[in-house]
Amino acid sequence: MLERQILKYLYANYPLAIFMTMLLNGMLFAIVSNESNAQSLFIWYLSLSLLQSFRLADYLYYRFIQQGEIYSVFTMFRNFRLGTLGTALTIGALPVLILNNVGLTELVFVAFVFAGITAGATSSLGIDRVSLLLYLLPVLLPLTFCFFSLPGSMPLVMALIIPFYSVYLFLNSSRFISRLTENVLLREEASKREKEILLRQKQAELIVKIQAAYMENRVDRRFFQQVLQELQNLSDCQYGFMCRLHHKTPHEFDSVLISQLGDLDLRRIQGESLHIDELNQRPLSLEAYFAQVITQKKELSVDSIELLHGKPPVKTLGNFYGFPLLSENRVIGIIVLLYPYGSMPDPLPELLQTLMDTLARVLVGQAGDRRTLGTSLKRSAYEGLKKSDRDWPDSL
């Protein structure tokens, strides 16, 4: 999670870094350009401009395509560091190109601009030490070589100052890294607590709605579909479904789909006389984890699962969260929430425990006032198990 936060910080500074790179190096190009080096410097600045356009394309790719997806951290770090290294190598080539065509005054001006560029890089790249090194060394080492190659005491002193300046920037970045990392972790923890409080508040409101619907005898198929949609809003899941179970033997049961979100292929987990052993034959499949929730009689959270969705069915990876609805230590229903791979909230099982218990009591007609139609609810739901999904009654 910290790596993703570091990436967000690095790419947040990308547009400004690209603009300042073009601006400052454009000023350098205008100052140090003369008749003898104009052509080579034009090619140099054109190369730098093309490279910055590729960096801008990488930023747009991250910002508008990858930001909302579960992107590869390794790929984005690689793209960012390659862009940083290419920019540093191009900028560092400038003093080598102009060494034989300008005087000491122009070279000192180049050093002055490079000092500003590298100081700014410490703040924008300081959170990633690898990127900072890939930028500092290619920019400052050629400049040091150029000063060493010039006669006189002043170029020698300048050449000696640059390594000390580089070490100072790197050490200063270490302190910056630790401070920024701490801020990122604190912000992440605060954001997680805020989301948790908001989730608990919405959960409490949903429980009140469920109890009110039960007391008013409005518990039907449409009711459970609305509850599932509320769960989707609460937990930001991509798919979800709810099944009613009737056990024939410890390893055989009937399963009826009550409500569903999305276009998942659920044919293997609904029907009559389903066997748990048969469902467990494909270890990473949805039906295997569905069966494990039944046998373990407790919530199950899985990081990687194969999902089939669409027509024709397409296989993708996702995260699985299943919760059994229990009555007298028997699983009488299951609610499953499915997320895009790597995006399931960490505190989800604990936060939804009360809500799932309420749904279990509603499903068996045990919640609220005994004067309500709990017995009728229980009987009609049981009888509905013998019917197909097409013949499922409007009222449970």
pLDDT of residue 392: 41
Q: How far apart are CA 132 and CA 87, in angstroms?
A: 12
Q: How far apart are CA 382 and CA 131, in angstroms?
A: 63
Based on the fold, state whether residues 250 and 145 are members of the same structural domain.
no
Based on the fold, state whether residues 36 and 185 are members of the same structural domain.
yes
Domain boundary among 189, 208, 241: 189
Based on the fold, state whether residues 155 and 248 are members of the same structural domain.
no
**Whether the predicted pLDDT of 191 surpasses 60:** yes
Cβ-count burial of 195 within 10 angstroms (0-12 exposed, 13-18 middle, 19+ buried)? Answer: middle
Question: What domain range is 32 assigned to?
Answer: 2-189
Based on the fold, state whether residues 8 and 76 are members of the same structural domain.
yes
Q: Considering the domain boundaries, does residue 395 fall inside one?
A: no
What is the DSSP secondary structure assignment for residue 395, as one 8-state letter? B
CA 359 vs CA 27, 150, 206, 231, 365: distances in Å: 68, 81, 11, 12, 10
| Average pLDDT of every residue of the chain | 79
Three state DSSP letters for 207-270: HHHHHHHHHCCCCEHHHHHHHHHHHHHHHCCCEEEEEEEEEEECCEEEEEEEEEECCECCHHHC
Based on the fold, state whether residues 117 and 260 are members of the same structural domain.
no
When mean pLDDT is compared across 24-28, 49-53, 134-138, 270-274, the lowest value belongs to 270-274
Based on the fold, state whether residues 185 and 246 are members of the same structural domain.
no
Assign residue 281 the CATH number of its domain: 3.30.450.40
**Whether the predicted pLDDT of 369 surpasses 50:** no
**Whether the predicted pLDDT of 52 surpasses 90:** yes
Give me the sign of the Cα torsion angle 100, 106, 108, 111: negative
Q: Which two tokens stand for residue 283?
A: 């270890």
Based on the fold, state whether residues 149 and 239 are members of the same structural domain.
no
**Whether the predicted pLDDT of 235 surpasses 90:** no
What is the DSSP secondary structure assignment for residue 330, as one 8-state letter? E
Q: Considering the domain boundaries, does residue 172 fall inside one?
A: yes
Q: How far apart are CA 156 and CA 146, in angstroms?
A: 10
pLDDT of residue 350: 61
pLDDT of residue 320: 85
Q: Considering the domain boundaries, does residue 49 fall inside one?
A: yes
Domain boundary among 189, 204, 225: 189
Q: Look up residue 73 and give its amino acid.
A: V
- Give percent of the chain with pLDDT exceeding 90: 14
pLDDT of residue 51: 94
**Contact, 98 vs 106, CB < 8 A?**
yes
Based on the fold, state whether residues 313 and 257 are members of the same structural domain.
yes
Q: Which residue would you say has higher pLDDT here, 219 or 20?
A: 20
When mean pLDDT is compared across 11-15, 48-52, 337-341, the lowest value belongs to 337-341
Q: Considering the domain boundaries, does residue 394 fall inside one?
A: no
Based on the fold, state whether residues 49 and 171 are members of the same structural domain.
yes
Note the pLDDT tens digit of each residue in 330-368: 888 888 888 877 666 665 656 677 777 787 777 766 433
Q: Considering the domain boundaries, does residue 150 fall inside one?
A: yes
When mean pLDDT is compared across 49-53, 134-138, 214-218, the lowest value belongs to 214-218
pLDDT of residue 281: 78
Q: Considering the domain boundaries, does residue 83 fall inside one?
A: yes
Based on the fold, state whether residues 8 and 109 are members of the same structural domain.
yes
Based on the fold, state whether residues 133 and 280 are members of the same structural domain.
no
CA 265 vs CA 221, 222, 320: distances in Å: 20, 21, 15
Note the pLDDT tens digit of each residue in 300-337: 888 778 777 777 767 777 888 888 888 778 888 888 88
Based on the fold, state whether residues 372 and 252 are members of the same structural domain.
yes
Q: Which residues contact 37 (CB under 8 A, 6 or more apart)?
A: 97, 98, 101, 102
CA 161 to chain CA mean position, Å? 43
Q: Considering the domain boundaries, does residue 262 fall inside one?
A: yes
Q: Which two tokens stand for residue 306?
A: 């194969």
Q: Which residue would you say has higher pLDDT here, 366 or 116?
A: 116
pLDDT (mean) for 28-49 = 89
Quote the Cα angle for 353-343-188, to 5°.
85
pLDDT (mean) for 372-388 = 38
Q: Considering the domain boundaries, does residue 194 fall inside one?
A: no
Note the pLDDT tens digit of each residue in 249-272: 888 888 888 888 888 888 888 888
- The pLDDT confidence band at residue 394, using thresholds 50, 70 and 90, is very low
pLDDT of residue 380: 36
Q: What domain count does the chain have?
A: 2
**Contact, 237 vs 229, CB < 8 A?**
no
pLDDT of residue 389: 41
